[in-house]
C-alpha cells in the first residue's frame, strides 16, 4: 500500500515506519496520523512481523501536531475530527513498538514516542511539550504519561515551561532506554527489534499488556490480570517449546501459537 506522509519498510521479522514530512519537521497532520494507524493495523495483522521501529529519520522525530492545520479550527471542529483520539491505534498496537528518536520530539511527537514501548534516542534528541506556548495543552496523553513515567515535578516542569529536555536528561529520568550517537539510533532500535522478534510473540504481547495495565488499574486488578495471562500462556505451543528448548539446551523456535 502506498502512503504520502510515511514510509513503511518490512524486513521480516521486523518493520520500520518512518514519518516523512521533512519540510515541516514531520508535523503530525491528520492525514499522517491516519497513515500511521493504518500502517500499524496492517503490521498488527501481518504474522511475519514481530516488532516494529517507529522513527522520523536521521534529523527529526516530529515537531508536534500540524499548527498550520489547527490554528483557525473551532473547538467543535477539533472534537468532530477527533484528531488526538486517532492516536489510540498506536497505543493499542500489541507488538513491541520501539521509538527511534533523533532531533525534536515535541508536542504530539513526544507523546507519540511515549506511546511506544521502548525509546532509543540519538544524542541530538530533545523531548518536550511546548503546547503551553501556543495557548493549549498536550492532547495525546502527555499530561498523563509524563507523570506516570518521570513523576509529578518533572511533568510539571516540562508542561508548564514548554522547554524541551535533552536525551541524556530523559535517560536519567527513565523515559529513554538508550542514548546513542545520532547516526546509530535507527540501527540500534532495529537491532533491539530483531532481538525481540526472536522471542515468543504471545509472551511478549502478554508482558506488554500486563505492564501497560499497571498504568491503568489498582495493584490488585493488575496482579489479577497478570496471573490470568501467566496461566493462559501455559496453553500455548510457545511455552512448551520455550521450556523444552531450555531443558534440551537448544535455542527455542517460536511460532506465536
Closest CA to 125 of 96, 90, 100, 108: 100
Judged by CB, which is closer to ligand COA: 63, or 202?
Answer: 63
Q: How far apart are CA 94 and CA 81, in angstroms?
A: 25
Question: Strand 97-101 vs strand 118-122: parallel, antiparallel, or unpaired?
Answer: parallel
Active-site annotation holds for 111:
yes
Active-site annotation holds for 11:
no
Judged by CB, which is closer to ligand COA: 93, or 104?
Answer: 104
Terminus-to-terminus CA distance in the chain, angstroms? 28
Active-site annotation holds for 131:
yes
Binding footprint of ligand COA on the chain (CB under 6 A): 24-25, 27, 63-68, 104, 106-107, 130-131, 134
The active-site residue out of 56, 103, 108, 109 is 108
The active-site residue out of 51, 63, 65, 125 is 65
The active-site residue out of 39, 51, 107, 111 is 111
CB 199, min distance to ligand COA, A: 36
* Residue 137: CB atoms within 10 Å: 11
Using only C-alpha atoms, the chain has a radius of gyration, in whole angstroms, of 19
CB 24, min distance to ligand COA, A: 4
CB 107, min distance to ligand COA, A: 3
> At a CB cut-off of 8 Å and minimum separation 6, what does 191 contact?
none
The active-site residue out of 131, 140, 193, 197 is 131
CB 137, min distance to ligand COA, A: 9
SS3 breakdown of the chain: % helix, strand, coil, rounded to 5? 50, 15, 35
Closest CA to 105 of 145, 77, 73: 145
Judged by CB, which is closer to ligand COA: 68, or 181?
Answer: 68
CB 145, min distance to ligand COA, A: 16
Judged by CB, which is closer to ligand COA: 66, or 238?
Answer: 66
Q: How far apart are CA 114 and CA 146, in angstroms?
A: 8
Task: Give the CA distances from residue 46 to residues 13, 25, 70, 76, 154, in Å, rounded to whole numbers and listed in that order.
Answer: 10, 29, 34, 37, 38
Q: Which three cell numbers stand for residue 142?
A: 502527555
Active-site annotation holds for 151:
no
Judged by CB, which is closer to ligand COA: 4, or 9?
Answer: 4
Residues identified as active-site = 65, 108, 111, 131
Amino acid at each position: 500500500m502506498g502512503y504520502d506522509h510515511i514510509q513503511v519498510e518490512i524486513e521480516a521479522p521486523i518493520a520500520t515506519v518512518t514519518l516523512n514530512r521533512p519540510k515541516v519537521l514531520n508535523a503530525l497532520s491528520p492525514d499522517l496520523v491516519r497513515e500511521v494507524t493504518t500502517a500499524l493495523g496492517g503490521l498488527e495483522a501481518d504474522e511475519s512481523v514481530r516488532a516494529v521501529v517507529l522513527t522520523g529519520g536521521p534529523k527529526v522525530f516530529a515537531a508536534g501536531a500540524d499548527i498550520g492545520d489547527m490554528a483557525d479550527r473551532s473547538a467543535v471542529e477539533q472534537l468532530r475530527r477527533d484528531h488526538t483520539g486517532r492516536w489510540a491505534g498506536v497505543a493499542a498496537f500489541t507488538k513491541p513498538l520501539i521509538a527511534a528518536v533523533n532531533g525534536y520530539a515535541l508536542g504530539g511527537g513526544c507523546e507519540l514516542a511515549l506511546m511506544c514501548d521502548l525509546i532509543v534516542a540519538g544524542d541530538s534528541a530533545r523531548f518536550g511539550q511546548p503546547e503551553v506556548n501556543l495557548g493549549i495543552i498536550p492532547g495525546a496523553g502527555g499530561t498523563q504519561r509524563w507523570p506516570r513515567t518521570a513523576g509529578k515535578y518533572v511533568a510539571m516542569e516540562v508542561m508548564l515551561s514548554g522547554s524541551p529536555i535533552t536525551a541524556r536528561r530523559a535517560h536519567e529520568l527513565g523515559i529513554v532506554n538508550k542514548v546513542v550517537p545520532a547516526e546509530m539510533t535507527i540501527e540500534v532500535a532495529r537491532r533491539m527489534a530483531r532481538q525481540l522478534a526472536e522471542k515468543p510473540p504471545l509472551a511478549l504481547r502478554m508482558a506488554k499488556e500486563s505492564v501497560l495495565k499497571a498504568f491503568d488499574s489498582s495493584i490488585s486488578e493488575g496482579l489479577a490480570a497478570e496471573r490470568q495471562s501467566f496461566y493462559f500462556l501455559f496453553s500455548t505451543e510457545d511455552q512448551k517449546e520455550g521450556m523444552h528448548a531450555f531443558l534440551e539446551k537448544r535455542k527455542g523456535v517460536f511460532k506465536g501459537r
